[in-house]
């Protein structure tokens, strides 16, 4: 089976840096996705990691350690619009199209 | 390119009634997914189509839920009869191929009273 854990809520200050962690246990691994979801809106793709290491994309970076079953999403220079839910997801080992999501981390950015 | 279209955006029904949701994926995307997202949880896959064939419906409550994608493009998801616990957002997503970025529609928020 697959199990994904991430913190339920986080709070950070505008302009700061925040790290959202995700741990997973899976019988197989084909990659890890991060999605952003604003309240009442669709999830939108942020990043995809399949190899160990850090992937940087503007203010957002994502890190993966396959041996530790661990990933994090790093958000720099936080803006108020970054207040959203951040969803970590792995792909099902027998079906690479099927995403298994964590419960999501609700990030609140305060002025 | 146009995104994934879903309708309706909101629906309120009484328990035991039936309801249908519609999804039009991004043009050229062969794989279509229906996810259920209960408040405070991550989305859970209900059914996955590759063109007009079902790839995975292992978590679809088949006694009350059904879905089809007859021509390999649009899809409908139906619930009959609805239960209170079906209250959720139903998200449709599509990918060009499996294991690539999924594009989600805005979802249909269903409230069963």
Least confident range of A28-32, A37-41, B26-30, B52-56: A28-32
Return the structure tokens found at A22: 């995700």
Task: Among B42, B44, B57, B100, pick the best mutation site for testing chain A contact (most A Cβ within 10 A).
Answer: B42
CB neighbours (10 Å) of residue A55?
Answer: 16
Q: Is the pLDDT of residue B44 over 90?
A: yes
Partner-chain contact A48 B106, CB within 8 Å: no
Cβ of residue A70 closer than 8 Å to a chain B Cβ: no
CA distance A21 to B102: 21
Partner-chain contact B48 A45, CB within 8 Å: no
Residue B53 DSSP one-character state: E
CA distance B69 to B1: 21
Least confident range of A104-108, B71-75, B87-91: B71-75
Return the structure tokens found at B24: 């039009």
Residue B99 has a pLDDT of 66
Residue B12 has a pLDDT of 98
Cis ω on the peptide bond leading into residue B81 (within 30° of 0)? Answer: yes
Reading chain A (111 residues) residue by residue, the pLDDT tens digits are 678 999 999 999 999 999 999 999 877 777 899 999 999 899 999 999 999 999 999 999 999 999 999 999 999 999 999 999 999 999 877 776 788 999 999 999 999
Residue B18 has a pLDDT of 98
HSE toward the beta carbon, residue B21, CA cutoff 13 A: 29
The residue among B80, B89, B109 whose CA lies nearest residue B15 is B80
Partner-chain contact A42 B106, CB within 8 Å: yes
């Amino acid at each position: 089976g697959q199990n994904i854990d991430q913190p339920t809520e986080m709070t950070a200050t505008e302009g700061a840096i925040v790290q959202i962690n995700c741990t997973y246990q899976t019988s197989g691994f084909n990659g890890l996705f991060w999605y952003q979801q604003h309240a009442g809106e669709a999830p939108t793709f942020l990043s995809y990691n399949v190899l160990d290491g850090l992937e940087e994309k503007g203010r957002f970076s994502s890190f993966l350690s396959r041996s530790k079953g661990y990933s994090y999403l790093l958000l720099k220079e936080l803006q108020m619009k970054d207040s959203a839910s951040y969803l970590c997801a792995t792909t099902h080992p027998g079906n690479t199209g099927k995403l298994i999501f964590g419960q999501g981390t609700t990030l609140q950015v305060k002025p | 390119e146009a995104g994934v279209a879903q309708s309706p955006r909101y629906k309120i029904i009484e328990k035991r009634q039936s309801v249908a949701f519609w999804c039009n994926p991004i043009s050229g995307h062969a794989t279509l997914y229906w996810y259920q997202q209960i408040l405070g949880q991550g989305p859970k896959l209900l059914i996955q189509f590759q063109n007009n064939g079902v790839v995975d419906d292992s978590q679809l409550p088949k006694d009350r839920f059904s879905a089809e994608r007859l021509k390999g493009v649009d899809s409908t998801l139906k619930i009959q009869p609805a239960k209170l616990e079906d209250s959720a957002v139903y998200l449709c997503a599509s990918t060009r191929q499996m294991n690539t970025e999924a594009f989600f529609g805005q979802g249909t928020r269903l409230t069963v009273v």
